Amino acid sequence: MSGLTYTQTPGPLGTLFAENGTSHTVTIPAQTSIVITSGQPGFNLETGKLVTSSVREEIEACFNCVEAALLSAGVKNGLAAIFKMTSFLLDVRLEGEMMEVWRRRVPGHKPTWITVGVAALAVPGMHIEMQAEALIA
């Protein structure tokens, strides 16, 4: 991503973050246009309904919704333009599966990321919701 600088803390913690597919910090240049999504669910983009076939498919659909929101706001690189991601999970044990999907979809891209375990999400049956921040390039 042009103009962004990602860094890792030296040592094992930095290695852990890098292996998981995230960074410790991102520096954003001044005079940059930033797009911030609202919380994005794991909905089917064609039907507008929650994907319930499997949690993995819901995670995939969630990334699809994040990317669709970014593209609609003019972020041409979609998921690859994200510099900060926040994910909300009913079960934080799903983080590993979520990160597997992320690394497959955007190999080598390591934005900053926070995962929050929550007791409930807005739509009954949801397991995940994501909010992203990206640059218009």
In Å, what is the CA distance from 75 to each residue of 57, 81, 91, 117, 129? 24, 7, 30, 28, 20
Per the model's pLDDT, the better-predicted residue between 133 and 21 turns out to be 133
Q: Is the pLDDT of residue 43 over 90?
A: yes
Helix (H) or strand (E) holding 50: none
User: What's the mean pLDDT in 13-20?
Assistant: 85
Residue keyed to tokens 């640059």: 135
The whole-number average pLDDT for the span 50-54 is 97
Is the pTM here over 0.95, yes or no? no
Show the domains of the chain with their CATH numbers: 5-135 (3.30.1330.40)
Percentage of residues in the chain with pLDDT exceeding 70?
Answer: 98
pLDDT 10s digits, 66-79: 999 999 999 999 99
